[in-house]
Chain A
């Protein structure tokens, strides 16, 4: 019966693990709802500011802000990588880093250097192993990230751009397609491209490229300076909250499949256990019968 006892303990331990994963699944499901609410709440702002900047890129402004001018030569690009703080969320971070590496390798082949800004603990760990040039890192954003918490890291990247150390800036994050699907995306932040607001303004007849300009109050430079910085901040914030929703959704799915797998494992082990028990009983009976016959 020694084997049967071992199997019993194993089943017990798997059952405990299953309890943990199913609790984590439920926690992730409730957090996901909150994260999705947060994502939806900030979407209108992100969309409207993208519209405005899209108009701006289509206009013919008297003052061309540095962020709006495509640089002739790209020597160094920056990536803001949004990852999760915690693991146990399936292949979410892994897929993201894979998408990022694909980009990074193609830049490398063109002889372009890269700087990285890691948002979230997993990205920091990744760059420690991968060895990219990490210029800023921020982790512990929590479930309700604030714009204030991100400003520092964003500023590092924007300053690098201002000083010409970076010629392009991208943000890398997971896009929340639905609960089952999260898609890693690499989006260009700087310089602003005129098609940036295109998706949102197809029905807008105001898109008359190149022929008009805004009136600015107080003046173009001061206004665009603060507007464009605000725009970048809102885009990065949106990326972070969207990634947060992805994280919870991915964790929920990962924990659900872990719970299911544990169930399967328990079924298999119970089968083995019953067989072992049956075999032991059969053996005992045959021993008794054998013994009785001998007497």
Chain B
């Protein structure tokens, strides 16, 4: 039994990551899930949030996706993200600002705003912040 598998992360615009990994941790709509080699076939929708891939030997890398789908086969994991980026490229200030703005738009009862859209924007900004915080926590530890 091989103890690693292939992971592909693609977004609509580009291929973000492709490589051999030991574990993938993503945030599905039903909660976070970790995938190890030999996982049963699974299809799930992803919510905005971090995706962590752990390489052979424990080194890991963080990505951020804005939602999408994840397909799990025993020896390959495919993440079809709506948009994805490496977590280190995220900008905390921008994410925080986006959160504030989304929150304001959400609370602004007078505006003719699409509430589902505002909620989605808010969720996205919060997820970005969550990714950044996770990254920072790890940096502090290591």
Q: Among A55, A214, A217, A237, which residue has its beta carbon within 8 angstroms of that of B29?
A: A217
Chain A residue nearest in CB terms to B75: A206
Encode contact with B along A34-52: 1 for CB under 8 Å, 0 otherwise.
0000000110110011011
Encode contact with B along A197-239: 1 for CB under 8 Å, 0 otherwise.
0000000101000001111111000110011001000100100
Q: Contacting chain A: which of B37-45, B48-56, B112-120?
A: B37-45
Residue pair B13, A42 in contact (C-beta under 8 Å): yes
Residue pair A49, B80 in contact (C-beta under 8 Å): yes
Chain A residue nearest in CB terms to B43: A214
Question: Nearest Cβ distance between residue A228 and chain B, in whole angstroms?
Answer: 11
Residue pair A217, B71 in contact (C-beta under 8 Å): no
CB of A68 closer than 8 Å to a CB of B:
no
Indicate whether A215 sits within 8 Å of B42 (C-beta atoms), given known contacts A227-B69, A234-B12. yes
Interface size on A, residues (CB 8 A): 28
Roughly how many angstroms separate A214 CA and B43 CA in the complex, as a whole number?
Answer: 6
CB of A59 closer than 8 Å to a CB of B:
yes
Residue pair B12, A42 in contact (C-beta under 8 Å): yes
Interface residue tally of chain B, by bracket? 20 to 34
Encode contact with B along A143-176: 1 for CB under 8 Å, 0 otherwise.
0000100000000000000000000000000000
Task: State the main secondary structure of chain A at its contact with B.
Answer: helix
Question: Nearest Cβ distance between residue A220 and chain B, in whole angstroms?
Answer: 8
CB of B74 closer than 8 Å to a CB of A:
yes
Question: Nearest Cβ distance between residue B134 and chain A, in whole angstroms?
Answer: 22
Residue pair B80, A48 in contact (C-beta under 8 Å): yes
Roughly how many angstroms separate A223 CA and B30 CA in the complex, as a whole number?
Answer: 12
Residue pair B45, A217 in contact (C-beta under 8 Å): yes
Give B residues with C-beta under 8 Å from A. 8, 10-15, 28-30, 40-45, 69, 71, 73-76, 78, 80
28 A-B residue pairings within 8 Å (CB atoms): A41-B14, A42-B12, A44-B8, A44-B14, A44-B15, A45-B13, A48-B10, A52-B43, A52-B71, A55-B41, A204-B76, A206-B73, A206-B74, A206-B76, A214-B42, A214-B43, A214-B71, A215-B40, A215-B43, A216-B42, A217-B45, A218-B29, A218-B30, A223-B45, A226-B69, A227-B69, A230-B69, A237-B12
